[in-house]
Amino acid sequence: MYLNNIVEAIGNTPLVKLNSITKGIPGTILAKVEYFNPGNSVKDRMAIRMVEDAEKAGLLKPGGTIIEGTSGNTGMGLALAAIAKGYQCIFVMSDKQSKEKQDILKAVGAQVVVCPVDVAPDDPRSYYSVARRLNQETPNSFYPNQYDNLSNAAAHYETTGPELWQQTEGRITHWAAGVGTGGTICGVSKYLKEQNPNVYTLGLDTYGSVFKKYKETGIFDVNEIYPYKTEGIGEDILPKNVDFDLIDQFIKVGDKEAALMTRRLAKEEGLFVGWSCGSAVHGALEYAKENLKADDTMVILLPDHGTRYLGKVYNDEWMRAQGWLD
């Protein structure tokens, strides 16, 4: 048996029990390890879905160019889909993303445009604005817009959610994931709550992001927005893929706590994962210590692989420069 192309390898990733970092915490705590996807991240799932839905809708035509704003992982998924289907890619990133992410995208044939991170979303220099402008200027191009494209959440409703239900044999009681575009957490949450309305969904946010306060107060507070270092979670906008009714609670995790937990996952669990994985695990375990019961089963999403962060989280000199290592 063989696959016809690399994108057919997407999905059916393993669920792995956490053993060391969960000592003393009740319940069973499992990690959904998404770096087993061919592009090494969970974003492969929604990338191929957005491309195929665009083809069906006539928005993406033969020989076309895919233009997207990305923190790196969605770009990789789109690039693999483009290679399999014969498209070109232009990806727009903010300058806070790791050099590894930029180099990986170039390695798979994409053109990369880097924009300043410390500008408002509607500033013409922001990566949202630049992606939209390039889409308007480039003939036969398609802008997936992962934030507001509901194919994002649909991909997880149809693949990731059912996988978790089957892998836990319906025993999952808590679902925890970082929130960026919102597609992963909300697509999975919708599916799981349809199977069991009591499944509790925990969204992990970061300081400098608007999500937690918006969920708790309904207020979009610009004072919540300030620069942070963790890549891939939190937002200064409200993406359409974030359905706040499907997320029961948000917990914020700081950059340092996320980075240190990421390193612990590698050393203590053998899970060489990305920075936002540390955010998800740190926040989920803080919740679990107080709330999980012995017969509960919590699943935490680990979105990507550690190779994207070799120059940052896994670099001792960089960590010391942040003041995060003794």
Contacts of 270 (CB under 8 A, 6+ apart): none
Note if 43 is an active site residue.
yes
DSSP β-bridge partners for residue 17: 30
30: tokens are 């499992």
| Nearest in space to 303 (alpha carbons), one of 274, 266, 268 | 274
Active-site pick, 43, 193, 212, 215: 43
Tell me if 228 sits within 8 A of 118, measured CB to CB. no
pLDDT at residue number 281: 98
Q: What is the pLDDT of residues 157-209, one digit of tens each?
A: 999 999 999 999 999 999 999 999 999 999 999 999 999 999 999 999 999 99
CATH value of 43-142 in 3.40.50.1100, 3.40.50.510, 3.90.1660.10, 3.40.50.620: 3.40.50.1100
Tell me if 159 sits within 8 A of 43, measured CB to CB. no
Domain with CATH 3.40.50.1100 in the chain: 6-41+150-321, 43-142
pLDDT at residue number 58: 96
Q: Is 241 helix (H, G, I), strand (E, B) or coil?
A: coil
- Number of CB atoms found within 10 A of residue 307's CB: 15
Q: What is the CATH topology of the domain spanning 6-41+150-321?
A: Rossmann fold (3.40.50)
In the predicted model, residues of the chain with pLDDT beneath 70 are none
Tell me if 141 sits within 8 A of 168, measured CB to CB. no
